[in-house]
Amino acid sequence: MRLNLPIRAKLTLLYCSVLGLSFVAFFWICDLGFRRGIEITVNDASRSNLEIVRRLLNNSAPQGEQYVRSELRELSNLWANGALLEVADANQTWLFRSPQFLHAVPPVPGKDLAFFTTNLDSSQYRVALGLVETAGQRFQVHAAVPTEPFDQALDRFRIIEKEALPLLVVLASLLGYWLSGKSLQPVNRIIQTAQQIDAQNLSQRLEVPRPRDELRRLTETLNAMLSRIEGSFQRITQFTADASHDLRTPVAVIRTTAEIALRRPRPAEEYREALSRILDTSVETSDLLENLLALARSDAGVVGLNMRPLDLNEHLRKARERGAVLAAEKALSLTVETMETPVWVRADEIAIDRLLLILIDNAVKFTPAGGRCEIALSQNRGHAHIAVKDTGVGIAASDLDSIFERFRRADRSRSREIPGAGLGLAIARWITQMHGGTITAESTLGAGSVFHIRLPVFLGP
């Protein structure tokens, strides 16, 4: 079962667990080192005693067995550190034996030196067994050193371990809790600042910590997210305001026209004129609503495009037929240049037709009577290129970067007489991007504009 603990509690628990295991490992290593040190010390002591006996036998063996017994007894009396001694000859007859040795220790054949631990007189001793050959005689020597003082020191160390370990774990828990609190202070500041951010102050940002760590990356990521949210919120707010403004005008025109027409009886001609004005305004309003719905669906990601191979030549010819009607109303010259070979792209037929019609309609709107509109199709380096050129009023260089934004119309003072809400180019950009292409514009005031569309060519399955 997973515990739903706060991060601070989880960090403290993890810190204490790791530190507790570290303490256990440390004490275990210390205990192992202590025992190893004791073993080395007592081995060295018993080896030293064995060497003393070896030298004594080398000097006393030529003097006879009684002399050897006497020397060993005197040596045993001189040892005041609790060391014990027993020596046997080749026949395993004990020449000297300390009283604590209650039973004979069998020799270890083939070894000049060996160590073992045994209990003598209820105490533990470390015994060094050695074989000494001198003056044609062979002796087996056992030199024992008590390990009781070392064992007592080890026991005291283990008691300290058992008493210190819980205390250290408790202290580590308190320290871990404090450290986790210090570590989470920047997170708490982030939380406090984030709680203060709402729709009225989306421009506020989180304080970025100085250290280049994960918290700094988190803060920078959140600030970048807030910037994107602020931008989206501003666009939605602007979109709503602009849509409300552009819808208010035609609705007001329809209402006002109807109210004036109904105030008193009028001739049929005046009614026909009022209805005609209402119809024209309704058509414009329907186009605006259709564009708004298209952009709303694109923002929601619910637009499904039927992508299939299309020849752009056919769709440019279709666009020429529709554009000819618009151009004829203003006495404009409209030319369309296609290619002799098919230019295949993977696209949605309705979307491509709408893209071309938007650009043609835009060119016709902003081109004075008697001007020209030219459309040319080409193919280069795996891309289809559509250029829509006009001899219209042109676009200022300062407006080129924003003409594809929603409800943006370049130089409103010069285009206020031209109908439209400024959504066409925004839809054109969206359609182009949905097909993996790009749309750009270049223009000169008073000389006209050129819109360039690049779409990837379909090379087949």
Q: Tell me, yes or no, whether 225 and 260 share the same domain.
A: yes
Residue 63 near residue 72 (C-beta atoms within 8 A): no
Kind and range of the H or E run holding 87: strand 84-88
Residue 375 has a CB neighbour count (10 Å cut-off) of 23
**Domain range enclosing 79:** 7-155
How many structural domains compose the chain?
Answer: 3
| Domain assignment of residue 408, yes or no | yes
The answer, yes or no, to whether residue 450 has pLDDT greater than 90, is: yes
Mean pLDDT of the chain: 78
Query: Which of residues 300, 333, 358 is at a domain's end?
Result: 300
DSSP one-letter string for 124-149: EEEEEEEEEEETTEEEEEEEEEE-HH
Confidence band, pLDDT 50/70/90 cuts, at residue 413: very low
CATH number of the domain where residue 363 is located: 3.30.565.10
Residue 353 near residue 315 (C-beta atoms within 8 A): yes
Q: Tell me, yes or no, whether 17 and 142 share the same domain.
A: yes
Section 434-451 average pLDDT: 89
CA distance 367 to 75: 128
Q: Tell me, yes or no, whether 319 and 393 share the same domain.
A: yes
Residue 274 near residue 262 (C-beta atoms within 8 A): no
| Domain assignment of residue 172, yes or no | no
Start-to-end CA distance of the chain, whole Å, equals: 52
User: What's residue 59's pLDDT?
Assistant: 84
Q: Which long-range contacts (C-beta less than 8 Å, at least 24 apart) are formed by 295-299?
A: 295/239, 295/406, 295/423, 295/426, 295/427, 295/430, 298/430, 298/434
Confidence band, pLDDT 50/70/90 cuts, at residue 310: very high
Q: Tell me, yes or no, whether 285 and 322 share the same domain.
A: no
Residue 108 has a CB neighbour count (10 Å cut-off) of 14
Q: Tell me, yes or no, whether 279 and 246 share the same domain.
A: yes
The pTM assigned to this predicted structure is 0.48
Contacts of 385 (CB under 8 A, 6+ apart): 377, 378, 379, 452, 453, 454
Query: Tens digits of per-residue pLDDT, 221-240?
Result: 888 888 887 777 776 776 67
Alpha helices in 263-345 (DSSP H): 268-300, 312-329
Return the biggest CA–CA distance within the chain. Answer: 162
Query: Which of residues 139, 155, 171 is at a domain's end?
Result: 155
Query: Tens digits of per-residue pLDDT, 14-59?
Result: 777 887 788 788 888 888 888 888 788 888 888 888 888 888 888 8
CATH number of the domain where residue 256 is located: 1.10.287.130
